[in-house]
Amino acid sequence: MVSKERSIDVQQETVRERIEQTLRVLVGLPLRYMGRAVDMAWLGFGDMVEVPKRNGGTRWVARHALHLQCDDSHFVVFEDAESD
């Protein structure tokens, strides 16, 4: 039987591995922009690509966007999405 403490360690390691694997694509890419509003920060990485706007027309954004949202104690990964 696995102890509760060991089970939590394994779960945390799995989460850590998933985060590292997901963010690995950003390593070495240029940081194009960053911004912040209240408790959220966003960063754009990689080539700039033209994407459609919701209300028509187009806009230029970084190929990869990383959104981080924090509370009073720590940052939480909110979104990691390719923008095209």
The answer to whether residues 37 and 18 touch, using CB atoms and an 8 Å cutoff, is no
The answer to whether residues 60 and 76 touch, using CB atoms and an 8 Å cutoff, is no
Question: Which pLDDT band holds residue 83 (cuts at 50, 70, 90)?
Answer: very low
Residue 26 is predicted with a pLDDT of: 94
Kindly list the domain boundaries of the chain, sorted by start residue.
4-82
Residue 45 is predicted with a pLDDT of: 96
pTM: 0.65
Residue 31 is predicted with a pLDDT of: 96
What pLDDT digit, counting tens, does each position of 19-75 carry? 899 899 999 999 999 998 888 889 999 999 999 999 999 999 999 999 988 776 665
